[in-house]
């Protein structure tokens, strides 16, 4: 059961030392860069779950998972990705009996913790793990602090050069619960470990973005207004276009500012929106405030590149409703890449580098589908004028 967990822990790297990567000290991470991100397949050979008290093992010959990984720069390590499905094949447990391992309470969340630049390895955790084990005369649950806590955690590493995600037997909190039968081979409350190595496709590159200090003048409350804004279903090509958008933003002021959450969008509205079949739509922002994160600065052009994170919105038209978010309909972690140029006082929302998806699609006559990726494009005039710089 633990096997599936291992697959989806792509971003975190805290276990680097445990696999012989201690020569270069890990650097505590605050923001991350992931390329290309999006939907990832993870496949493993043998995966093993072990009762640490009795030594009994459950071994599966293979495991396969699908993971959604955020894409872009300036990403937070917490919930940088999620495991949306995971399965285990040909599992053998106590007394050489065939077992079925079923993952529960998906998605599980991937969290990046530290980065070893010498090895190109990220250490982190896969959290929210819960699974059930079932064989002839033997059943059990794998979780963290209780059978229903849904907070099982394992330590994982991902190495850029090998494109391999490893689930480590050290550093987790897995336990066995609700053991029934099993002839004493395992016991309720026993600790457990998981080990596996997953091949990741397409290959991912995960790095830690070194923190930079920023200067913002004058900051404070800012108005942002745009002309046409467009949301596009990347699979079907269907668009939802609004003639204008207006937002209020609070931006920190001063020098030596961290780029993470350097500002926030406190309100945002969209006017005269037209969606599939030229129908009028209403777009409603949720989970405000959204966070503005500064990531890099081009001194030649005076342009800051960053992200807008925490995005969640609902779309509603005649016979068609949907939710826009990041890794799930309720994750509230939608992200888009943004730029701000000092000379033009323009903030642009780019169509590349985000993780937006459509969820909970109802109706819509096939124009959009739940799970489809989405992009957003817009250009906002900022008032009063801001100057953002970084050394």
| 104 and 226 both lie in a single domain | no
Which distant-in-sequence residues (6+ apart) come within 8 Å of 96 by Cβ? none
Does residue 164 share a domain with residue 253?
no
Q: Give the DSSP letter string of 122-136.
A: EEEEEEEE-EEEEET
Would you state the pLDDT for residue 211? 56
The span from the CA of 109 to the CA of 330, in Å, is: 13
Asked if 67 and 173 sit in the same domain, the reply is yes
DSSP string, 285-341: EESPPEEEEEEEEETTTTEEEEEEEEEEEEEEETTEEEEEESSSTT---EEEEEEEE
The residue among 166, 187, 209 that closes a domain is 209
Does one domain contain both 228 and 196? no
Q: Are residues 369 and 231 in the same domain?
A: yes
In this structure, are 176 and 226 located in the same domain?
no
Preceding peptide of 289 cis, ω within 30°: yes
Indicate if 129 and 263 belong to the same structural domain: no
SS (H, E, C) 155-201: EEEEECCCCEEEEECCCCCCEEEEEEEHHHCCCCCCEEEEEEEEEEE
**Angstrom distance (rounded) from CA 275 to CA 257:** 40
Which pLDDT belongs to residue 209?
Answer: 64
Query: Are residues 232 and 191 both part of a single domain?
Result: no
Residue where one domain finishes, among candidates 169, 194, 209: 209
Residue 267 confidence (pLDDT)? 96
The whole-number pLDDT of residue 183 equals 93
Are 169 and 300 within one domain? no
Angstrom distance (rounded) from CA 359 to CA 373: 10
Closest to 112 (Cα-Cα) out of 34, 212, 172: 34
Range of 354's domain? Answer: 213-389
pLDDT at 73: 81
Q: What is the pLDDT of residue 295?
A: 82
Residue-level pLDDT at 210: 59
Whether residue 167 sits in one domain with residue 236:
no
Measure the CA–CA gap between 309 and 286, rounded to whole angstroms.
12
Position 16 scores a pLDDT of 27
Residue indicated by tokens 């207006």: 246
- Which stretch of DSSP H or E encloses residue 87? strand 81-92
**Residues 218 and 185 placed together within one structural domain of the fold:** no
Task: Check whether residue 288 and residue 272 sit in a common domain.
Answer: yes
For the chain, how are helix, strand and coil distributed in percent, rounded to 5? 5, 60, 35
End residue of a domain, out of 156, 184, 209: 209
Q: How far is CA 30 from CA 68, 236, 250, 258, 336, in A?
A: 20, 35, 22, 10, 18
Contact 187, 179 (CB under 8 A): yes
pLDDT at position 12 is 29
Q: Is the dihedral of CA 52, 56, 61, 64 positive or negative?
A: negative
Beta bridge partners of residue 226, listed in sequence order: 245, 380
User: pLDDT tens, position by position, for the chain (391 residues)?
Assistant: 333 322 222 222 222 222 222 223 333 335 788 999 888 898 988 999 999 999 999 999 999 999 989 988 878 888 999 999 999 999 999 889 999 999 999 999 999 888 887 788 898 899 999 999 999 999 999 999 999 999 999 999 999 999 999 999 988 999 999 999 999 999 999 999 999 999 999 999 998 765 578 999 999 999 999 999 999 999 999 999 999 999 999 999 999 998 889 999 999 999 999 998 899 999 999 999 999 999 888 888 899 998 999 999 999 999 999 999 998 999 999 999 999 999 999 999 999 888 999 999 999 999 999 999 999 999 999 999 999 998 7
Identify the pLDDT of residue 13.
28
Burial (0-12, 13-18, 19+ Cβ within 10 Å), 121: buried
Number of domains forming the structure of the chain: 2
């Amino acid at each position: 059961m633990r096997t599936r967990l291992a697959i989806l822990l792509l971003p975190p790297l805290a276990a680097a030392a445990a696999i012989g990567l201690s020569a270069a000290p890990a650097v505590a991470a605050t923001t991350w860069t992931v390329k290309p991100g999006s939907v990832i397949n993870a496949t493993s050979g043998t995966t093993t779950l072990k009762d640490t008290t009795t030594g009994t093992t459950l071994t599966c010959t293979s495991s396969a998972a699908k993971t959604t990984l955020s894409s872009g720069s300036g990403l937070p390590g917490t919930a940088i990705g999620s495991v949306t499905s995971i399965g285990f094949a040909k599992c053998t447990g106590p007394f050489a009996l065939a077992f079925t391992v079923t993952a529960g309470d998906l998605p599980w969340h991937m969290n990046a913790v530290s980065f070893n630049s010498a090895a190109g390895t990220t250490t982190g955790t896969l959290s929210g793990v819960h699974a059930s084990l079932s064989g002839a005369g033997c059943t059990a649950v794998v979780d963290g602090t209780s059978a229903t806590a849904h907070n099982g955690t394992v330590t994982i590493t991902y190495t850029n050069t090998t494109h391999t995600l490893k689930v480590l037997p050290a550093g987790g909190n897995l336990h066995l619960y609700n053991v029934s039968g099993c002839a004493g081979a395992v016991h309720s409350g026993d600790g457990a470990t998981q080990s596996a190595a997953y091949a990741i496709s397409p290959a991912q590159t995960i790095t830690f973005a070194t923190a930079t200090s920023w200067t913002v003048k004058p900051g404070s409350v800012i108005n942002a207004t745009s002309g046409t804004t467009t949301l596009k279903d990347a699979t079907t090509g269907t668009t939802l276009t609004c003639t204008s958008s207006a937002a209020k933003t609070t931006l920190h002021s001063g020098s030596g500012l961290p780029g993470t959450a350097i500002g926030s969008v406190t309100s945002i509205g969209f006017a005269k929106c037209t969606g599939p079949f030229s129908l009028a739509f209403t777009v409603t922002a949720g989970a405000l405030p959204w966070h503005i994160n500064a990531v890099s600065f081009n001194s030649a052009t005076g342009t800051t590149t960053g992200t807008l994170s925490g995005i969640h919105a609902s779309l509603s038209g005649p016979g068609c409703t949907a939710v826009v978010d990041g890794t799930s309909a309720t994750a509230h972690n939608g992200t888009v890449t943004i730029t701000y140029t000092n000379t033009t006082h323009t903030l642009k929302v780019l169509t590349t580098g985000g993780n937006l998806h459509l969820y909970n699609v109802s109706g819509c006559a096939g124009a959009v589908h739940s799970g489809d990726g989405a992009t957003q494009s817009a250009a906002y005039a900022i008032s009063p004028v801001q100057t953002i710089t970084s050394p």
